Every structure is written in structure tokens, then in C-alpha cells.
Structure 1
């Protein structure tokens, strides 16, 4: 019995030691070091001064341009509050030297900025890369980041060794797109100062989310991240074996809203003028010689007569909101977009697929990806009604997304319902028309008998009599709606809806001011075999309100308030054996069931305590080793995905914490036994 008392004292003493360090290792929601309850979203921070927005510019599509033509597009981009063009240059681009010269002359004249994005689809010689950076990095128009000339790429991880010398000789800040490797492997190459992701489009028949962005942020561990934003993707270029689409639909609105939540260091729009992939946001001057050369092998010119530039009308407000945390509505705008040929048109799909096997994706029929809808967004200084017609028929459109406080970007979509004809959009406030536009046709007539999956974009704007500014800046908002995939869906919808929407586990779909329930100071842990992304969600959900659907299994709390479970004998022994083998907790073990005989009860209790003691010693050793190894990381928020590999002690701590609770719950009946 003295041995039992000694073990009891040791357990209590060790619990105090663990509790003293709990703030640095436990995933408990409400911890000042870990999950910030005060802001409800640890990822959401106020904007920083060096935030910038770029547009990816295909220099090869401007090989005939004069300085004046460059100045024209730079003025349009500047009015949209875009800071610079990322000059995509391929080693085999026609008139490359003269095009770059004209671009920098125009930028110098316009006060605009440029930087190089080397396209490694055609390999670059290290000497040529050095030549261009050294020649132009000192130009007044060259964009600098963190006081260094900024350089990016499209792919090229096979030439990463070149950049050791290039960086040494140019002093550049290198942020490549090595998306073919993913963030983790790209960083292993050891040359990137930050990373640019090319993953700007959703997979299959789903809308875009931020899981890839979360992966980059996690692996970068504080290094800068450049987030991609694109409105559309459709390509049919047999010359390059390209013939697929990814869902566009709501993407232009969704992606900017995601950027406001993610708050990346930089943003790059894909693209300004890539007509072959249909994601251009710049103007289409069809008088330009060679502007559609990229579509020479296409079965039809799917970019001709398909303007996109009115997408830019939304950018001054949203870019200011991203960069500065607040923005002012001085001009109200309305933009709408749609495909000219509905799925019901009966035209050939031209062999186009949704997704592409060339990127190891499951392919769908285009009709399973693209929706027969009209999509519309508006920047408004106050609420107003939206009206969409097709062929003169009012579709009964309503806003599906509204900004918190009523000032900002509104968005919605409406099914065309089989209607054909000219499309119009009108915004009215109190019955008075504010702005309207019409044009473009939804028709069953397909060019060459092949359905055009590109978007037709139109819009208009009107001055606002009295400018309006949101009362709360972006950094004062948190998530008020969100979701997740798979098993994360239900718990994310619950937690995001009341203000906690962690990247990596969930994605936010709406922001506002959530009314958070008071903390109950109760710790929740994920089930034994679940991944670490559940840590914060379980901690938050258990501390706030029990989430629906029984998603959480309650764990022992920090004050050993053990959940009493009705478990059969085999399950109890099985759970302790799992602890012994894996140092993980399957469920809480409590006193033996009441229906056991007295002898069975005694034997089971002593057996459980003995096994638990062995597990405890093993777990203590693991905890001490892990805690020692991660001391240098204690300043980081405790999210497993953000810790260095091998430094995540959360599962060890969870096992230790639960094992202590189990052991303590076992001691009481053991002390009561008549041995």
C-alpha cells in the first residue's frame, strides 16, 4: 500500500510539472501562446506595409508592341491598383530583347514596376538569366522586395542549383514557382527565399478552397508566400497537347475573399494576357498583330470577341482592402460573366475535359464542372438590389454573399433556366437605377460546332455621391462561415460559424464579427488515430460548445475531471493495450463496470494500474525527449503543421495527459480495495 501511495504522490507531482509547461505544449484553446481566443483566428493579422499585387504578363504575346502600347496597359493596371507586371519571359520568345527594353522604358515613363519571371518551360542558361537580372535590376522601374531585386519563375526546379550563383552575383530575392514539387520539396532545394504557388484553380466539380495555401504557409514557416488568384481556365491548344478546363464560375470573387482571410505576403494574378488559357484580365486589342498567335493551333479562336477587362473594376476596392486593411467606395461597380454556350446547347465539347490526366487528375466531362449560370459581383457603398435578365426574362437574381456592414463586395449567381439571348445586369437602390450594362449572348450557336468554354465579361460603374468606408477593418473581422472536406466538414462548419476557422483544417467562406461563447476552460483532444489538424478544432469546440454530431470524444481535462464511460471489459483492456503499443489514447478508461464480480473487479483494477504505470513511464520518457527537442520552437503558436518535422509534441502530450488521468482514476478504487 505504501508503494501505491508513493506512486500516487509521484503522479500528482509530475502532473504539476506538466501543468507548469502546459501552455507551451498543449493544444488547449484559450492559451495565450497557442490558439488566440481574443482574435478567434490566429492566421488573421493586420496588413503589412510590403504587401503588393502583381499580374502575370506573357511577354511573348506582346512581341510587336511599341512603348505606347506598353504604357496603355500599364495605365490600366495601375488604375486597378496593381503594383507590377511579372514579366513571364521564355528563352525562345520572339523579339525578347526589344520587348523587355520597350517594357522598361514604358514603366519608367509611367511610374509602374516590373520584375522577371523566368519561364523554364524552355530551359534558361544561367549566363542568360544573370545577364537580364544584372542589366535591369538597377532600373528605376524594377520591383524590389525587402530591398532586393525581386525574381520569380514558372517552374524550373531542375535548374535550382544555378540559383546559388545567381543569387550570390545579383543579390536578388528569389521566389520561384516550383508547384510541380509542392512546398515541402521545393524548400528542400535550399534556394528559395519564399514561394509562389501556381495552384489557382479548383479540382473537379468543387469550388476553390485554401488547403494548398495553408500547406505553403505551414511549410514556409514564416518565409513569404505569394498567393495565386485567377478568374478562369480553359485551353484547347493541340500544338501543346492542352485541352482541358478547371471550374471558373464564382472563382474571381471566391479567391479574393480567400485572400482577405489568408492575408498572404504577396498576390499574383494569373494572368494579364494569357489568351491561350482564357484567364486574361487585361484588355483584348484585336487590332494588335500577333495577339492571338498563341491560339494558332486551336480549332477556333475562343478568345476573340470575349472581353475580360471589366473584371478589373472590382480590384481597386479589394486590393486596397487586402493591402491596407480598409478601403473606400468612391465608385460603385457591377460586373457579370457567363459562358456563351450552355451545357444544353448540344454542341461538341471538342475533346475538352474537366481536369487533366496530364497532371494526374481524374477527368470529368466539362458539363459536370461548369454550371449554366450567370455570375455577378458589385462594389457598393450600401445595399442595393440586383437584376439579371437573359433574353429579356428577369431571372430573379439575389445576392448570395454580402459584406459585413453593407459596404464592400456583393456576389451572387443565378441559373439561366434554359433561357437564351442577350444578358443584362442592373443595380437599383430604392427603385432608382445606379448602374447597368448589357451585351453578350447566351446561345446554342457554337463556333465551328464546338462549345466555347471561355467567359464573356461585362460591367459598368457610376460615381458614388458620398464615399463610404467599412467601419471595421479587415483585421477586426473573423470568420463567420466556413467548411472543410471529409470528416472536417461538420466540425469546421460549426467552429468557423462562431469565429474559429484554422487554415489547414478548414476554409473560411465569409467574414464578419462572430459572437464567441465564453470559454469553459475544458480541453478537447482528437481521437487516437486522427491527424494533428484536429487539435485546435477539438480544443476550441470542447471549450466553447459541444459540436453537433458527436464529432468529439471528450478527454480528461486539466483538473482530471474524468468522463465516466460505460465500457465493457474487453474494450477497457483493448484500450490499455493500444496505449502500451502506440502511446495513444483510444478512449477514457474509468472504474471497472459495476456488473463484474468483486474478484474480477480487483484483478482488473490492479491489472489496469500496472499496465498504465508501464505506459506512463514510457510516455514520460517520450515527453521529456520531445519537450527538450522543441524548446527552441516554444515561441510558435502550437499548430502541429507549423512545427519543424519531429518537433510536434502534441500527440505525446495528449497521451501523457490522458494517461495521468487514467492512472489517477485507477488509484482511487485501488486504494479502496481490501487486499
Structure 2
């Protein structure tokens, strides 16, 4: 079984800034043939046995406007079997896919032949994404790869758009590039610190400059939090500040206008940036401790009109909103809650990656104690947010807007009113807790919507490692959200 480990990042090279004209001209030069990709981890789905196990993922992605899944692969024994199933499901459902080679497992210095051969293996499959008449392929890291040798081994025209890094690779040899760093960071794979705050837009600028007009795959991601302790061999424990990142980044990419964008990710539950459903069949690499009862489907809903606007070349999402909706998210506990006595990371663990920290995840101070709400409205209205005893109302215009309020322990409720009418009203299934759930620091997000979406519980395989390493006996490997939410809010603001 293979799981994602450490990220290879831009380090100092991300601080390069392109001349403003590079950004300004990008929309005009890359507006044609816009495509939306979403990163899909093959390494955690070795338990799938048929094309039907992929069908729901393909159909959901297609309904949102996602054009292709980037199938992240390593060198597991089941990789080919899963690729065969994924490719065939994509073909059956009129989706496209392509391989993204994970160079945590492939060798960048000696793997050119293996990469080329794998590309050739699926080049003629009807579900293979073709761009400019070439077989499209990408990567996670891999800067030292011999691109010429890889293309020779493939024996077919390859559109190679890897996650190479400015200043670390010869960009003249590639056809495009993916920027993986979708989160504000310190330039060295950690959360920003005073004097070291690299924005996602700074990464855009570095890549656009290095690509010199070649297609750019802009990253879009909602969240980042991981909390693996010594119970696994790949211990890591840090966050990137996320908060309203999902909303703000979508607005940035509409203005940016790159030819491609990639959502990071569909199903990397271990790093909490999944937008796909919890029930999507997968193994539990230990992430269920912070993923159980934490659906992210609302982020899928929010993305749909933004994807439509991006495909159309629009710089605003407002014209693509066709129904009223509220999307809300928040963490399950306040960041200052002390879980030291029971957390799984309070002891030393393997730290060859440099990403393991004891206790609260590195960067925790950058997360705001807030409830975040995005309104997608067909007409102006009033948004009410109630977090515990904190009740706030906001005038919301037609279109897409974001709001946040200080988070308090207790029930979280939301409403949209318009004139005398209550358009949407309800309370979340997840309360903000005053205790350490499963005894750990959980900096993942719970995402909900009004109108409410369907239930999305983790399946058996996705819960298999929930109790491994826990220091409490009150947590069980089963979904525990209530069947019905608390009562909706009352005394809502209305006008005649």
C-alpha cells in the first residue's frame, strides 16, 4: 500500500516574481481550450475491484465540469490493475484521465524509461486525455528527469506538463508545468512565518515567468492539515493556512486565466484537501482519526459555478450562479483547546521528512477561529450566521460573497432571508466541541450546505485504522454524525 509522504516544494525559487505584463497577458494567450483537472490518489484505492467502483467519482466530477482526473501513481503491485479500472470507467462515463507520476516513488534520475513506457501503455486508450494532438502526462516533483529519454521511451508524442520547479529544471524541455503549491507557505514546505510568507500568487508569477508563454497548470486547493503520529512510518504534522482559501483562490484563477487548472485533490484524505466524498472507496492510511464525520462535499458544490465561469473565460462567477446556496465550513474545535494529555503526536517519531512536530500541528497559529460562509445568490438577501452564542447578520449581494464570524462552542446555524421570506434555514450536523474529539488535535474542516446535501459516511475500509495509536477509548471506527440536525434558527431578520 502506498501513501503520500513529504512534499517537494519550490524552496527559494518560489520567490521569483514575473514582470506584471506576464500575468496581464496570460489570459489572452491561454484562454483557448481551457481544461480543469483534479488530482486523484491511486495509491489509496487498491481495494477497488471493478470499473463500477470508479463510476461515482467519474460521474460526480463530470457533473461539476471537471474535464480529467490526474491519476497519481507510484509503483505499487496494484497500480496497473487500478489504472485499467480507472481508464475504463472514465471511458464508460465520457470522462478523460491522464497519469501523474509521483516521484516520491519513481526515480527522477533513472526512471525516464519506466515513465515513458507507462505513458505508452495507456496512450491509445479512449479515455486518455490528448492535448494538442499529444498524450498528456504530468507528475508530482521529478525535476531531474531526462525528458528527452522519457519521450523517446514513450514512442508517441507526449505533452509533458510536470510539477517541475522554476530554477531547478530546464523549462525549455517541457510543454507546460504544474505548480503544486496551492497554499500560502514559508518557501520551505511549512506555514508562513514572519518575514517568510510566499503567497500562491507569487508561485503563479514564478511559474508563468519560467514557462515563457507555455501552458500553466494553476493549483486550486481548499485546505491543508495532516496529523500522522508514530503509529505510522510516514509521521507528519503541519498545516498551511486555509480558512477562506477555497473561495479566494477561485476568484484569483478566474482573473489569472491560465489554460489549465488543477484541483488538489479529490481524495487525499491524509492531508485534508479532499473535495471528493468520504464514501468514495479507499483504504485508511490512518487519516480517519481526523476525517471521520468531516465531509467536504460542499466545496464541490461551491466549485461548480466557478468551473463554468473558468471554462467560459469569465472573470466573475456571478452570471453562472443559478440557484441560492450557502456553503459553510469550520474546524471541530477551537485552536487553543489543550489536547496534550491525549494527542497521538506528543512523543518523538520518525522525522526523516522534517515534517513531524509534536503536539499541535506546525503553523496552527495561522488558522483563524472562525466560521466561514460563502453565499451563492440569484438575488440580494440577508445571511445570518449563529456560532454558539455569537449571532451575526450580513447584507449579501447577488452573486458570490464570503463572510466569517468568530467561532464559539456549540450549535452552528445558518439562514438566508429575502424580504418577508426565509429562503434557507438550518443547523449543522456538527457542533463545535469543547473536548478533544478522539483525544487529538483536529485541524480538518467540516463542510456543510444549505440546502443540505446527502449523507456521506466513511465506509468500512476507510475506517480500518481509526483507533490505531489513540490514547482514549471513547472513539470507535464508525460514523457518528446524528441522523437529523438540531432545530433551525429562529427570530430571523425579515422585512415586509
Say whether the fold is shared (TM-score over 0.5): yes
Which one of the candidate residues 290, 311, 335 is aligned to 1:323? 311
User: What residue in structure 1 maps to residue 174 of structure 2?
Assistant: 192
- Provide the alpha-carbon RMSD of the alignment: 2.9
User: What residue in structure 1 maps to residue 127 of structure 2?
Assistant: 141
**Which digits, 9 at most, give the CA deviation of each residue in 1:80-119, with x for residues without a partner?**
1111100001112x42121111111111110011000011
Instruction: Look up the SS of the partner of 1:454 in the other structure.
Output: coil
When residues 357 and 96 of structure 1 are mapped into structure 2, their CA distance, relative to the original with a 3 A threshold, is closer
**Which digits, 9 at most, give the CA deviation of each residue in 1:153-181, with x for residues without a partner?**
11112333564444762211000002xxx
Is 1:303 matched with 2:291? yes
User: What residue in structure 1 maps to residue 431 of structure 2?
Assistant: 441
User: What residue in structure 1 maps to residue 392 of structure 2?
Assistant: 396
Instruction: Look up the SS of the partner of 2:115 in the other structure.
Output: helix
Task: Supply the distance in 1 between the matched residues of 2:47 and 2:244 (Cα, whole angstroms).
Answer: 34
CA contact under 8 A between 1:281 and 1:311: conserved in structure 2?
yes
Instruction: Look up the SS of the partner of 2:60 in the other structure.
Output: helix
What's the offset of the Cα at 1:47? 6.9
CA contact under 8 A between 2:135 and 2:159: conserved in structure 1?
yes
Task: Supply the distance in 2 between the matched residues of 1:384 and 1:166 (Cα, whole angstroms).
Answer: 59
When residues 215 and 247 of structure 1 are mapped into structure 2, their CA distance, relative to the original with a 3 A threshold, is same
When residues 255 and 350 of structure 1 are mapped into structure 2, their CA distance, relative to the original with a 3 A threshold, is farther
**Which digits, 9 at most, give the CA deviation of each residue in 1:369-410, with x for residues without a partner?**
11100011122122222111123x3521437xx7xxx54321
CA contact under 8 A between 1:53 and 1:319: conserved in structure 2?
yes
What's the offset of the Cα at 1:230? 0.7
Task: Supply the distance in 2 between the matched residues of 1:456 and 1:389 (Cα, whole angstroms).
Answer: 16
Which one of the candidate residues 375, 384, 387 is aligned to 2:372? 375
When residues 164 and 191 of structure 1 are mapped into structure 2, their CA distance, relative to the original with a 3 A threshold, is farther
Matches of residues 116-515 of structure 1 in structure 2 within 5 Å?
116-123=99-106, 125-161=111-147, 163-166=149-152, 169-178=155-164, 182-187=165-170, 190-203=172-185, 204=192, 208-238=199-229, 239-285=233-279, 288=281, 290-292=282-284, 294-295=285-286, 301-326=289-314, 327-348=319-340, 351=345, 358=354, 366-391=363-388, 393-398=389-394, 406-416=397-407, 419-437=408-426, 438-461=428-451
Select the structure with the greater relative contact order (CA < 8 A; seq sep ≥ 6): 2
User: What residue in structure 2 maps to residue 485 of structure 1?
Assistant: none
Q: Greater Rg, structure 1 or structure 2?
A: 1
Aligned residues between the structures: 403
Is 1:78 matched with 2:67? no
Task: Supply the distance in 2 between the matched residues of 1:35 and 1:342 (Cα, whole angstroms).
Answer: 40
Task: Supply the distance in 1 between the matched residues of 2:170 and 2:255 (Cα, whole angstroms).
Answer: 24
CA contact under 8 A between 1:397 and 1:412: conserved in structure 2?
no
Please state which structure has a larger fraction of its residues in helix. Answer: 1
Instruction: Look up the SS of the partner of 1:268 in the other structure.
Output: strand
Task: Supply the distance in 2 between the matched residues of 1:163 and 1:377 (Cα, whole angstroms).
Answer: 47
Which one of the candidate residues 71, 90, 94 is aligned to 1:87? 71
What's the offset of the Cα at 1:42? 4.9
When residues 426 and 248 of structure 1 are mapped into structure 2, their CA distance, relative to the original with a 3 A threshold, is same
Consecutive unaligned residues in structure 2, runs of 5 or more = 1-18, 186-191, 347-351, 453-496
What's the offset of the Cα at 1:123? 1.9
Instruction: Look up the SS of the partner of 2:431 in the other structure.
Output: strand
Matches of residues 13-52 of structure 1 in structure 2 within 5 Å?
42=25, 44-45=27-28, 48-52=31-35
User: What residue in structure 2 maps to residue 62 of structure 1?
Assistant: 45
Task: Supply the distance in 1 between the matched residues of 2:167 and 2:297 (Cα, whole angstroms).
Answer: 36
Instruction: Look up the SS of the partner of 2:168 in the other structure.
Output: helix
TM-score (norm. length: structure 1): 0.56
User: What residue in structure 1 maps to residue 478 of structure 2?
Assistant: none
CA contact under 8 A between 2:58 and 2:90: conserved in structure 1?
yes
CA contact under 8 A between 2:98 and 2:136: conserved in structure 1?
yes
Task: Supply the distance in 1 between the matched residues of 2:44 and 2:154 (Cα, whole angstroms).
Answer: 32
TM-score (norm. length: structure 2): 0.74
When residues 336 and 445 of structure 1 are mapped into structure 2, their CA distance, relative to the original with a 3 A threshold, is same
